[in-house]
Amino acid sequence: MKKLFVAGVAAAVLYAAPSFAADMPVKAPGAPAPVVNWSGCYIGGNAGGGWKHVKDNDAVTSVILLDQTFDGWIAGGQIGCDSQLNNSWVVGVRGMWDAAGVKGTKVGILNAPTDSIDVSATQFATLTAKAGYLINPTLQIYGQVGYAWVSEKTTYNCAVCGPPQSSAPLQDNRSGFDAGIGIDWMLHRNWDLFIEYDHVWLGTRQLVYVLPTAGTVAVNAKESFDKVMVGLNYRFGIDPFGPIFGKH
Protein backbone atom coordinates (compact mmCIF):
# COMPACT_ATOMS: atom_id res chain seq x y z
CA MET A 1 0.00 0.00 0.00
CA LYS A 2 2.82 2.31 0.93
CA LYS A 3 4.55 1.56 -2.35
CA LEU A 4 1.39 2.36 -4.25
CA PHE A 5 1.02 5.66 -2.35
CA VAL A 6 4.61 6.71 -3.13
CA ALA A 7 4.21 5.75 -6.77
CA GLY A 8 1.00 7.78 -6.98
CA VAL A 9 2.59 10.87 -5.44
CA ALA A 10 5.55 10.58 -7.80
CA ALA A 11 3.25 10.29 -10.80
CA ALA A 12 1.27 13.33 -9.66
CA VAL A 13 4.42 15.38 -9.24
CA LEU A 14 5.71 14.39 -12.67
CA TYR A 15 2.37 15.25 -14.20
CA ALA A 16 2.08 18.66 -12.47
CA ALA A 17 5.70 19.77 -12.84
CA PRO A 18 5.46 21.07 -16.42
CA SER A 19 2.33 23.11 -15.69
CA PHE A 20 3.79 24.48 -12.45
CA ALA A 21 6.99 25.48 -14.18
CA ALA A 22 5.02 27.23 -16.89
CA ASP A 23 3.14 29.27 -14.29
CA MET A 24 6.26 30.33 -12.35
CA PRO A 25 7.41 33.93 -12.89
CA VAL A 26 10.50 34.10 -15.07
CA LYS A 27 13.26 36.50 -14.04
CA ALA A 28 13.72 39.13 -16.71
CA PRO A 29 17.12 39.07 -18.35
CA GLY A 30 19.45 41.82 -17.17
CA ALA A 31 19.39 45.04 -19.16
CA PRO A 32 22.34 45.25 -21.54
CA ALA A 33 25.16 47.47 -20.39
CA PRO A 34 25.10 50.85 -22.12
CA VAL A 35 27.46 51.07 -25.09
CA VAL A 36 30.03 53.86 -24.72
CA ASN A 37 31.30 55.43 -27.92
CA TRP A 38 33.56 58.48 -28.05
CA SER A 39 32.87 59.17 -31.71
CA GLY A 40 31.16 62.46 -32.37
CA CYS A 41 31.41 66.23 -32.37
CA TYR A 42 31.06 68.36 -29.24
CA ILE A 43 30.93 71.87 -27.83
CA GLY A 44 31.77 72.95 -24.29
CA GLY A 45 33.29 75.37 -21.83
CA ASN A 46 36.37 75.49 -19.61
CA ALA A 47 37.94 77.47 -16.78
CA GLY A 48 41.22 77.39 -14.92
CA GLY A 49 44.49 79.21 -14.48
CA GLY A 50 47.41 80.29 -16.63
CA TRP A 51 50.87 81.70 -16.21
CA LYS A 52 53.23 83.45 -18.62
CA HIS A 53 57.00 83.57 -18.24
CA VAL A 54 58.69 86.65 -19.68
CA LYS A 55 62.42 87.20 -20.10
CA ASP A 56 63.34 90.61 -21.57
CA ASN A 57 66.89 91.52 -22.62
CA ASP A 58 68.02 94.99 -23.64
CA ALA A 59 68.22 94.85 -27.44
CA VAL A 60 71.51 96.80 -27.45
CA THR A 61 73.45 95.53 -24.43
CA SER A 62 71.72 92.11 -23.95
CA VAL A 63 71.44 92.89 -20.24
CA ILE A 64 68.45 91.15 -18.61
CA LEU A 65 65.73 93.68 -17.82
CA LEU A 66 63.01 91.30 -16.70
CA ASP A 67 62.84 87.58 -15.86
CA GLN A 68 59.52 86.89 -14.18
CA THR A 69 56.34 84.76 -14.25
CA PHE A 70 52.87 86.34 -14.20
CA ASP A 71 49.70 84.36 -13.47
CA GLY A 72 45.92 84.68 -13.41
CA TRP A 73 42.60 83.16 -14.55
CA ILE A 74 41.44 81.79 -17.90
CA ALA A 75 37.92 80.92 -19.11
CA GLY A 76 36.37 80.16 -22.48
CA GLY A 77 35.04 77.46 -24.76
CA GLN A 78 36.00 74.72 -27.20
CA ILE A 79 34.56 72.82 -30.15
CA GLY A 80 35.85 69.65 -31.75
CA CYS A 81 35.26 66.16 -33.10
CA ASP A 82 36.53 62.71 -32.04
CA SER A 83 36.51 59.29 -33.63
CA GLN A 84 36.92 56.04 -31.68
CA LEU A 85 39.06 53.69 -33.77
CA ASN A 86 38.64 50.54 -31.64
CA ASN A 87 38.41 49.55 -27.98
CA SER A 88 41.64 51.36 -27.14
CA TRP A 89 42.19 54.52 -29.21
CA VAL A 90 40.40 57.81 -29.87
CA VAL A 91 41.66 60.52 -32.26
CA GLY A 92 40.29 63.98 -32.90
CA VAL A 93 40.77 67.70 -33.52
CA ARG A 94 39.80 70.65 -31.34
CA GLY A 95 39.66 74.43 -31.49
CA MET A 96 39.63 76.55 -28.32
CA TRP A 97 39.31 80.23 -27.41
CA ASP A 98 39.71 81.67 -23.90
CA ALA A 99 39.71 85.10 -22.32
CA ALA A 100 42.55 85.56 -19.82
CA GLY A 101 43.40 87.69 -16.82
CA VAL A 102 47.09 86.73 -16.64
CA LYS A 103 48.91 89.92 -15.63
CA GLY A 104 51.36 91.61 -13.31
CA THR A 105 53.96 94.36 -12.91
CA LYS A 106 57.74 94.12 -12.67
CA VAL A 107 59.15 97.02 -10.65
CA GLY A 108 62.86 97.81 -10.89
CA ILE A 109 64.53 97.92 -14.31
CA LEU A 110 68.35 97.95 -14.28
CA ASN A 111 69.56 101.09 -12.49
CA ALA A 112 66.05 102.56 -12.30
CA PRO A 113 64.50 100.87 -9.27
CA THR A 114 61.25 102.81 -9.71
CA ASP A 115 60.77 102.02 -13.42
CA SER A 116 58.38 99.18 -14.21
CA ILE A 117 56.85 97.05 -16.98
CA ASP A 118 53.18 96.07 -16.94
CA VAL A 119 52.38 92.72 -18.59
CA SER A 120 48.89 91.43 -19.41
CA ALA A 121 47.83 88.37 -21.45
CA THR A 122 44.22 89.05 -22.47
CA GLN A 123 43.21 86.02 -24.58
CA PHE A 124 44.47 82.94 -26.38
CA ALA A 125 43.32 80.43 -28.97
CA THR A 126 44.53 76.95 -29.91
CA LEU A 127 44.02 74.47 -32.74
CA THR A 128 45.24 70.96 -31.89
CA ALA A 129 45.17 67.32 -32.96
CA LYS A 130 44.47 64.79 -30.18
CA ALA A 131 45.18 61.10 -29.59
CA GLY A 132 43.72 59.30 -26.57
CA TYR A 133 44.12 55.85 -25.02
CA LEU A 134 41.13 54.29 -23.24
CA ILE A 135 41.99 53.05 -19.74
CA ASN A 136 38.43 51.72 -19.63
CA PRO A 137 35.38 52.41 -21.84
CA THR A 138 34.55 55.69 -20.04
CA LEU A 139 38.03 57.02 -19.18
CA GLN A 140 40.83 58.10 -21.49
CA ILE A 141 44.21 59.76 -21.18
CA TYR A 142 45.27 61.86 -24.14
CA GLY A 143 47.99 63.99 -25.60
CA GLN A 144 47.67 66.79 -28.10
CA VAL A 145 49.87 68.97 -30.30
CA GLY A 146 49.12 71.99 -32.42
CA TYR A 147 49.39 75.75 -32.66
CA ALA A 148 48.46 78.55 -30.27
CA TRP A 149 47.94 82.31 -30.46
CA VAL A 150 48.30 84.57 -27.41
CA SER A 151 47.31 88.24 -27.27
CA GLU A 152 49.02 90.51 -24.75
CA LYS A 153 49.54 94.14 -23.78
CA THR A 154 52.73 95.58 -22.24
CA THR A 155 53.56 99.08 -21.02
CA TYR A 156 56.88 100.61 -19.98
CA ASN A 157 56.59 103.06 -17.09
CA CYS A 158 59.51 105.45 -16.65
CA ALA A 159 59.34 107.03 -13.20
CA VAL A 160 62.73 108.77 -13.52
CA CYS A 161 61.79 110.51 -16.76
CA GLY A 162 60.86 114.13 -16.21
CA PRO A 163 57.99 114.31 -15.88
CA PRO A 164 57.25 110.57 -15.19
CA GLN A 165 55.74 109.00 -18.29
CA SER A 166 54.62 105.72 -19.78
CA SER A 167 54.66 104.28 -23.26
CA ALA A 168 51.38 103.64 -25.02
CA PRO A 169 50.16 100.05 -24.28
CA LEU A 170 51.95 97.88 -26.81
CA GLN A 171 49.63 95.26 -28.31
CA ASP A 172 51.50 92.09 -29.22
CA ASN A 173 49.96 88.98 -30.79
CA ARG A 174 52.23 85.97 -30.53
CA SER A 175 51.99 82.42 -31.82
CA GLY A 176 53.85 79.20 -31.22
CA PHE A 177 53.84 75.44 -30.78
CA ASP A 178 51.37 73.98 -28.27
CA ALA A 179 51.62 70.57 -26.54
CA GLY A 180 49.46 69.18 -23.76
CA ILE A 181 48.22 66.16 -21.82
CA GLY A 182 44.91 65.44 -20.15
CA ILE A 183 42.41 62.95 -18.79
CA ASP A 184 38.79 62.73 -19.99
CA TRP A 185 35.86 61.03 -18.26
CA MET A 186 32.60 60.15 -20.03
CA LEU A 187 29.98 61.04 -17.43
CA HIS A 188 27.06 60.17 -19.69
CA ARG A 189 26.50 59.27 -23.32
CA ASN A 190 26.37 63.00 -24.15
CA TRP A 191 28.63 64.55 -21.48
CA ASP A 192 32.33 64.32 -20.69
CA LEU A 193 34.56 66.10 -18.17
CA PHE A 194 38.28 66.74 -18.75
CA ILE A 195 41.31 68.09 -16.90
CA GLU A 196 44.23 69.32 -19.02
CA TYR A 197 47.67 70.95 -18.89
CA ASP A 198 49.32 72.68 -21.87
CA HIS A 199 52.59 74.45 -22.57
CA VAL A 200 53.02 76.97 -25.40
CA TRP A 201 56.42 78.00 -26.75
CA LEU A 202 56.10 81.63 -27.95
CA GLY A 203 59.72 82.23 -28.93
CA THR A 204 61.58 85.57 -28.96
CA ARG A 205 60.71 88.83 -30.68
CA GLN A 206 61.73 92.47 -30.35
CA LEU A 207 59.42 94.98 -28.68
CA VAL A 208 59.98 98.73 -28.89
CA TYR A 209 58.41 100.96 -26.20
CA VAL A 210 58.03 104.60 -27.30
CA LEU A 211 58.08 107.14 -24.47
CA PRO A 212 56.57 110.57 -25.26
CA THR A 213 59.66 112.68 -24.59
CA ALA A 214 62.35 110.22 -23.49
CA GLY A 215 62.98 108.25 -26.67
CA THR A 216 62.55 104.48 -27.08
CA VAL A 217 63.31 101.34 -25.11
CA ALA A 218 63.91 98.24 -27.28
CA VAL A 219 63.89 94.77 -25.73
CA ASN A 220 64.14 91.19 -27.00
CA ALA A 221 61.29 89.38 -25.26
CA LYS A 222 61.34 85.59 -24.88
CA GLU A 223 58.04 84.18 -23.63
CA SER A 224 56.13 80.99 -22.88
CA PHE A 225 52.56 80.36 -21.73
CA ASP A 226 51.15 77.54 -19.57
CA LYS A 227 47.57 76.68 -18.71
CA VAL A 228 45.66 74.21 -16.53
CA MET A 229 41.93 73.88 -17.04
CA VAL A 230 38.82 71.87 -16.25
CA GLY A 231 36.23 71.58 -19.01
CA LEU A 232 32.82 70.08 -19.75
CA ASN A 233 31.65 69.01 -23.23
CA TYR A 234 28.25 68.17 -24.69
CA ARG A 235 28.51 65.52 -27.44
CA PHE A 236 26.21 65.34 -30.46
CA GLY A 237 27.13 61.79 -31.53
CA ILE A 238 27.86 62.74 -35.15
CA ASP A 239 31.15 61.26 -36.39
CA PRO A 240 32.49 63.14 -39.44
CA PHE A 241 35.58 60.91 -39.49
CA GLY A 242 33.50 57.77 -40.04
CA PRO A 243 34.03 57.60 -43.80
CA ILE A 244 37.76 58.28 -43.36
CA PHE A 245 38.24 55.33 -41.01
CA GLY A 246 35.80 53.05 -42.79
CA LYS A 247 32.89 53.49 -40.36
CA HIS A 248 29.24 53.92 -41.26
Domain positions in the chain? 40-235
Question: Do the beta carbons of residue 99 and residue 123 sit within 8 Å?
Answer: yes
For residues 72 and 51, give the distance between their C-alpha atoms in angstroms, rounded to a whole number: 6
Fold of 40-235: Porin (2.40.160)
| Angle subtended at Cα 117 by Cα 112 and Cα 118, rounded to the nearest 5 degrees | 150
Residues of the chain with pLDDT under 50: 1-33, 246, 248
Question: Do the beta carbons of residue 92 and residue 50 sit within 8 Å?
Answer: no
Question: Do the beta carbons of residue 70 and residue 233 sit within 8 Å?
Answer: no
pLDDT at 28: 46
Question: Do the beta carbons of residue 223 and residue 53 sit within 8 Å?
Answer: yes
pLDDT at 33: 46
Sign of the C-alpha dihedral computed for residues 73, 77, 79 and 84 taken in this order: positive
pLDDT at 215: 87
pLDDT at 188: 84
pTM score? 0.80
pLDDT at 238: 65
Question: Do the beta carbons of residue 144 and residue 123 sit within 8 Å?
Answer: no
pLDDT at 244: 52
